[in-house]
Structure 1
């Protein structure tokens, strides 16, 4: 078994997950859109990234993607030892635009249903 020496850096695998209450509380949700949609992040489920723990074993509290448009917030470790990062809509500048797009899809679906279509 390898021993981590103080001052030694190590990489930790990451898994990206939907927001939990702590991340989505107070996030923008347009009328007509179920609040559950706020939880979904554009990269949920991805696990190809790693973060580097500092000398004290601490890892970054926030990861951002696409030039800072999307943010994921650290939320502990899973059973496999991966760092779990959850979508953080309040920290993601692109969130409002995404939610407005989701609202348009829901509105179009409602119009189709009212017209008797699918």
Structure 2
């Protein structure tokens, strides 16, 4: 875990919950469960600093804004929980299209 400076709050990144993935793009042939998975899920060596009003930022972005995680409360250990937000992530469609290619390739190999 990262060393906390005064006012910083530890963060854990989690897969999308229903609120985040409802209505998200999922190509044919890909299990909808794949939509929930974010590239940084499980990461917990991050901290966030509260805003001037004491609240935590609503979203965290990674990869120059391509991947977005949305705040979703706190866990039992007091860490801020941020969940992958496919609807807010500009890279989500391209990533899911890549996942669809992998599933299609795997299916072709099984049929041989």
Shorter-chain TM-score category?
Answer: over 0.9
Structure 1 residue ranges without an equivalent (≥5): 1-8
**Structure 2: gaps spanning 5 or more residues:** 1-5
Structure 2 counterpart of 1:4: none
The answer on 1:16 being equivalent to 2:17 is no
Q: CA RMSD in A?
A: 1.0
Note the 1:1-118 alignment, pairs <5 A: 10-115=7-112
Larger radius of gyration: 1
TM-score computed with the length of structure 1 as normaliser:
0.88
Residue 55 of structure 1: how far off its partner (Å):
4.3
Alpha-carbon deviation of 1:54? 2.7
Q: Work out the CA distance in 2 between the residues paired with 1:46 and 1:39.
A: 15
Residue 112 of structure 1 aligns to a residue in which SS?
helix
Q: CA deviation at 1:53?
A: 1.1
TM-score, structure 2 as length reference? 0.92
The ranges of structure 1 where at least 4 consecutive aligned residues each deviate by more than 3 angstroms after the TM superposition are none
Partners of 2:68 and 2:52 in 1: CA distance: 24
